Amino acid sequence: MSTASNIVADLTGPLPGVIEPRWWMGTPALPPTSFTIDCGEYAMGEADLDPDGELARRMNRTFDEVGLVYLVNTGLTDLQAMRRFAKLVIDREMLYEGGANPRDRLEPNVYEVGAPLEAWLHYHHEMAYVGHSTRMLGFLCHRAVPGRGYTFVSDNLQATDAILQTGLGRKLRERGLCYHRNLTDREAFAGTPQIGVYNHWQKSMMTDDPDEAEAQARAKGLEVEWGPNRLLKTRYRISAFEYFPQRDRNVLYSSIADDGMWFDAWPKVMHLPYEERPLKLTFGDGSEMSREEKQAFVDVYDDFGIPIEWNVGDIAIVCNYRFAHGRPSIHLGEGEARELGVLIGEAYERVGDLPGKW
């Protein structure tokens, strides 16, 4: 078999010894009644889009108290209609620029998830790997497979308390993290099967100009270096925690999703040795995490997981401080489809952890 054929054959399964998330412990870490709003009692028309109306007040009160709002039985099928209801809480949106995942727009201001369905997505906080993150996210269920294809969120306040009691948590607090990210050049892979590609810098930075891409990366607090074949190599050093103003405390704001483990089930990338994968996570001093520490990082989110059991029209609004999010692999049968639209909320500049806020 040729070398190329060997590579293609190796794309069918993850490398042995990978750490697959469990997602939850079988019981939601928070009662679903605390964050779920059944919209069957609303017409879901123009009157319910009033920012001073009953539904809007209820949504914002739930978000303020819990950090998670889940609208069910909306009767909506149109992404833009769902977006209008999500914006009753997400009043300001950011442009997804400099992000890691290769997101496309499904519709104006609505992005796709940006990851293949067959890849599991470790729990993560959106855009924790750059200096400008987002306060919240919205998910809009456009197509669903009932009983499968769930998203999971993890209660980060409980996860923070738990990890700070461990040796890993103490190391994260003392050393911080360094995010290593390598973005390929689209021109270097033109006309190829895109094997080994995660995201091109042109798509991430939304420019074809390398000087502009570098300037954008530096503006987001990244260290920048160009490698062979115009490989854009960025490094970002920051606390593993982030100060959460609403609770006046530091919360965990990192996960193993920013390591090569992100690609353990990712087609066309999972065959790569870890040292050749596009992402890597180390402690802030450059020291490596052990396998046991990586397992503990996965476990702390799994321990506080909550399933979001999608049906068409469902809308979830998630605080990026209070919850991490992820999902298992999804394998569709003939005629099945699963599609979520994503809204990315207000941007803010990361500060890391603050003294005395533990």
Residue-wise pLDDT tens digits, 258-288: 999 999 999 888 988 888 899 999 999 999 9
Q: Where are the alpha helices (DSSP H) in 88-151?
A: none
pLDDT beyond 70 at 97: no
Q: What's residue 3's pLDDT?
A: 34
Q: What's residue 112's pLDDT?
A: 57
Q: What's residue 352's pLDDT?
A: 97
Q: What's residue 6's pLDDT?
A: 37
Enclosing H/E stretch for 107: strand 105-107
d(C-alpha 347, C-alpha 344), whole Å: 8
Q: Compute the average pLDDT of residues 335-355.
A: 94
Percent of the chain with pLDDT over 70: 90
Residue 174, both tokens: 């003392």
Q: Provide the 10 A C-beta neighbour count for residue 158.
A: 16
Q: What is the dihedral of CA 328, 332, 336, 339, to 10 degrees?
A: 40
Given the DSSP bridges, would you call strands 36-38 and 68-72 parallel, antiparallel or unpaired? parallel
Q: Compute the average pLDDT of residues 185-209.
A: 87
For the chain, give the mean pLDDT: 90
d(C-alpha 141, C-alpha 300), whole Å: 27
Q: What's residue 338's pLDDT?
A: 94
d(C-alpha 217, C-alpha 204), whole Å: 10
Percent of the chain with pLDDT over 90: 75
CA distances from 314 to 210, 252, 295, 331, 338 (A): 40, 28, 32, 21, 13
* Domains assigned to the chain: 3-13+22-348 (3.60.130.10)
Single-letter amino acid, residue 126: E
Contact (CB, 8 A) for 185 and 200 = yes
Q: Say what the pTM is.
A: 0.88
- Residue 15: which pLDDT band, with cuts at 50, 70 and 90? low
Given the DSSP bridges, would you call strands 241-244 and 249-252 parallel, antiparallel or unpaired? antiparallel
- Residue 220: which pLDDT band, with cuts at 50, 70 and 90? confident
For the ranges 88-102, 284-298, 328-342, the lowest mean pLDDT is seen at: 88-102
Residue 190, both tokens: 């033109």
Q: Compute the average pLDDT of residues 129-136.
A: 92
| pLDDT single digits (tens) 153-177 | 999 999 999 999 999 999 999 999 9
At 47, give phi and psi (nearest 5°): -60, -30
d(C-alpha 309, C-alpha 70), whole Å: 10
**Where does residue 23 rank: exposed (0-12), middle (13-18), buried (19+ CB within 10 A)?**
buried
Scan for tokens 């990978």, then name that residue. 18
Q: Compute the average pLDDT of residues 106-116.
A: 61
| pLDDT single digits (tens) 75-85 | 999 999 999 99
Q: What's residue 10's pLDDT?
A: 43
Q: Where are the alpha helices (DSSP H) in the chain?
A: 3-9, 54-66, 79-86, 156-163, 167-175, 201-205, 210-219, 291-302
- Residue 11: which pLDDT band, with cuts at 50, 70 and 90? very low
| pLDDT single digits (tens) 224-234 | 999 999 999 99
| pLDDT single digits (tens) 61-76 | 999 999 999 999 999 9
Closest by CA position to 281, among listed 305, 253, 302: 253
Residue 151, both tokens: 């998203």
Q: Vertex 70, ends 86 and 38: CA angle to 5°?
A: 105
Q: What's residue 354's pLDDT?
A: 98
Q: What's residue 193's pLDDT?
A: 83
| pLDDT single digits (tens) 282-326 | 999 999 999 999 999 999 999 999 999 999 999 999 999 999 999
Helix (H/G/I), strand (E/B), else coil: 220: coil
- Residue 2: which pLDDT band, with cuts at 50, 70 and 90? very low
pLDDT beyond 70 at 200: yes
pLDDT beyond 90 at 126: yes
**Where does residue 197 rank: exposed (0-12), middle (13-18), buried (19+ CB within 10 A)?**
middle
